[in-house]
Amino acid sequence: MGSVISETETESGSNVWLSAGLAGIVGTVVFGAVQMVMGATGVIAVAIPALYGVSGPNLLAGWAIHLVHGALLGLGFGLLATRPSVGPYVASVGSAAAVGLAYGLVLTIPTAGIAMPLWLAAVGFPNAPPLPNLTLMGFVGHGVYGLVLGAVFPVLRDLL
């Protein structure tokens, strides 16, 4: 465990991308569970499906979409992890978790804070949140996502 990601490793087809995508899914499962425990099931069952024109409540569609979003954002973390200035910090679980936490907190602003309210308003969702939609729950959820993503990423990278 604890390998630093290099450009050569990335170009030779390493498991960085698979690890990042899967870690994003794991982070999303934990994030979604936190949302549901905190009473925000409507975000997953109604708001997320509405982004794609699916009327809710539809918890299955919401979870599927949320997991895809998490995997895609996990790939963004993988891209970040391949940068020479960041690679050493994602080599171990502790420091990768810290990088992931920062990544998740920053993601709150463009995703839940800006894109989601604009997108929901554009598709005519009647309960679109205000712009910007920067809530404590949003930061907590995305922070949990990033923390788990970062902690799981080096473990998967070393296992796969």
Model confidence pLDDT, tens digit, residues 98-154: 999 999 999 999 999 999 999 999 999 999 999 999 999 999 999 999 999 999 999
| pTM of the complete model beyond 0.85 | yes
Please identify which residue in the block is written with the tokens 């920053």.
106
> How do residues 21-37 score in pLDDT, each as one tens digit?
999 999 999 999 999 99
Tokens 């993988």 sit at which residue? 78
Q: Determine the pLDDT at residue 12.
A: 35
Interatomic CA distance for residues 32 and 79, integer angstroms: 23
Q: pLDDT class for 3, splitting at 50, 70, 90?
A: low
Q: Is-cis flag, bond preceding 132, omega within 30?
A: yes
CA distance 87 to 89: 5
